[in-house]
Amino acid sequence: MPEHNDRCSFCNKTRSEVGYLVRGSTSLICEKCLTRAGAALSKAKLNTKSTFEVPAPHDIRDFLDEFVIGQDHAKKTLAVAVFDHYLRLLDAEASIKADDVEIEKTNILMLGPTGCGKTYLVKTLARMLGVPFTIADATRLTEAGFIGDDVEDILTPLLASSGGDPVRASRGIVYIDEIDKIATAQTSATMTRDVRGEGVQQALLKLLEGSKVMVPAPSHRRTPGGQVVEVDTSNILFIVSGAFPTLKNIIAKRVNKKANIGITSIGSSSKDIKEESDLLQMVSTQDLRKYGFIPEFLGRIPVVVALRELTTNELSLILTEPRNALLKQYKRKFDIGCRVELEVTPEAVEAIAKKAAKQRRGARGLRAIVDPIFTGSFYDLPSCLIDGVSVYEKLVVTPEVINNKEVEPTRILKKEHENWIAPWETV
């Protein structure tokens, strides 16, 4: 048979249409069909895999240390909780067969001030484990039948990140932020139904406990007749978090101390209280119930991790130490886009950290401070290249740049370009 008539046995396209064909003993296959077959085989192997490998807690902690500064207690607690959860996956099949002890599901509550690293910790954790991951906002959730998202809708992005595979999605991580916003109102001036508070807590119970729920398929809306997929939440790790801004007052009242004065001890045996974050470390189920969470909801989240507010020193380290530190990113961008070395003095780093600490926005506030500093330089320096080489040797940021909006980073010209005139300075 002539080569131009050879066809792929799967898609029936000719050699002239697909380019290359791999010949077997009785059939041919093109490159595209071969790629699709490999993907299907990998998916089949994933679906039949009965074990899940998870690193030891020490390895989890070491990985988190590469990206996250501070929060040592939280990282240790989180590493143990995640290891415990995935041990349950390893043991699930054997327990069912042997009718033996069944390990209960472990969900996690993280609480702490804004910018302390709650979301970033979980994102980094999901990256290490290589499992499907999604972030949901509790403020968008309402009871079924009301305007807003049903609780099952938070699993749709998880299904999408799993390639539409419900088996892989069932071993993922769901992170629900702003969970404190669904606490039952302490007082209510009206008799209106609390569709965003206790109603949502009740609706979340079946997901947290573990059940088979019908989830809208990715790219499909929840409409009558719309496509849905069954997902088993029994092995999904749920991590919920929130800032809980007034929780410290409830804790302080319980221990008969005021959060806004420098009391150094609680009773005769408790540790010192030096800041508000110390109060959060003492949180109890009783405090969370007073905050507005029902007992059934709290009972399904046995692990509570309290994060501390970041110190000035920790904010300085966040700028320079992690693998993806903010200033490391800027140095790389100036090197690639402007061919200029960026130097941020230690004093400038400290000034940025102090400014962020004063604003009390945590690590989230660092970028808001740093970005405006480099706007003018990023605008000008790409136009200062001669044959792909910058006329500037270095860009230096000092504390004066941080503390005075009118001061720009210092641009140091190379000796051979001392008399160079910038394009925007020419008449």
> pLDDT per residue over 122-148, tens digit each?
989 888 888 888 999 988 887 654 445
Within this chain, do residues 226 and 340 fall inside the same structural domain, yes or no?
A: no
> What pLDDT does 2 receive?
44
The tally of domains found in the chain comes to 3
- pLDDT tens per residue, range 228-241: 899 999 889 999 99
User: Where does a domain end: 48, 66, 85?
Assistant: 48
Contact 163, 218 (CB under 8 A): no
Query: Which pLDDT value is given to residue 286?
Result: 92
State the amino acid at position 180 in one-letter form.
D
Model confidence pLDDT, tens digit, residues 314-340: 999 999 999 889 999 999 999 999 999
327 versus 7: the higher-pLDDT residue is 327
Q: Do 318 and 276 share a structural domain? A: no
- Same domain? 338 vs 354: yes
Instruction: For 43-76, write each residue's pLDDT tens digit.
Output: 554 444 444 567 899 999 999 999 999 899 899 9
Per the DSSP assignment, residues forming a β-bridge with 215 are 229
| pLDDT above 80 (res 347) | yes
Strands 21-23 and 28-30 turn out to be antiparallel
DSSP letters of 145-172?
TSSSB-GGGGGHHHHHHTTT-HHHHTT-
pLDDT band at 257 (very low <50, low <70, confident <90, very high): low
Stretch 285-299: mean pLDDT:
93
pLDDT greater than 80 at residue 344: yes
Q: pLDDT tier at 217 (50, 70, 90 boundaries)?
A: confident
Domain end residue (candidates: 289, 306, 323): 306
Same domain, 22 and 125: no
Within this chain, do residues 301 and 334 fall inside the same structural domain, yes or no?
no
Of residues 99 and 357, the one with the higher pLDDT is 357
Mean pLDDT over 113-119 rounds to 89
* pLDDT at residue 102, as a whole number: 67
Tokens 């010949």 identify what position? 23
Q: Which residue has the higher pLDDT, 9 or 93?
A: 9
Reply yes or no on whether the pLDDT at 10 is more than 90: no
- Please tell me the number of Cα atoms within 13 Å of 79 on its side-chain side: 18
Whether residue 409 is found in the same domain as residue 356? yes
Among the listed ranges 17-21, 55-59, 363-367, 380-384, which one has the minimum average pLDDT value? Answer: 17-21
* Domain range for 419: 312-425
Q: Is residue 166 pLDDT above 50, yes or no? A: yes
Q: Which of 59-68, 108-117, 177-186 has the lowest mean pLDDT?
A: 177-186
Single-letter amino acid, residue 253? K
Amino acid at 70: G
* Pair (174, 204) in one structural domain: yes
pLDDT of residue 268: 34
Indicate whether 318 and 183 sit together in one domain: no
CATH number at residue 259: 3.40.50.300
Is 160 in contact with 200 (CB distance < 8 Å)?
A: no
Do 21 and 78 lie in one domain? The reply is: no
Average pLDDT, whole number, for the chain? 82
pLDDT at 391: 94
Model confidence at 226, in pLDDT bands (50, 70, 90)? low
pLDDT on residue 312: 93
Block residue for tokens 């860009």: 395
User: Tell me, what CATH number does 349's domain have?
Assistant: 1.10.8.60
Structure tokens belonging to residue 215: 């989830």
Same-domain status, 296 and 371 = no
pLDDT of 341 higher than 70: yes
Whether 375 and 227 share a structural domain:
no
Length of the chain: 427
Confidence class of residue 15 from pLDDT cuts 50, 70 and 90?
confident
Q: Alpha-carbon distance 141 to 145, whole Å?
A: 11
d(Cα 138, Cα 141) in Å, to the nearest integer? 5
Task: Give the pairing type, strands 410-413 and 392-397.
Answer: antiparallel
pLDDT digits (tens, 9 = 90+) for 20-39: 788 877 788 888 888 777 76
Q: Identify whether residues 341 and 397 lie together within a single domain.
A: yes
Phi, psi of 38 (to 5 degrees): -65, -40
CB 145 within 8 A of CB 249: no
Candidate from 33-47, 187-201, 257-271 with smallest mean pLDDT = 257-271
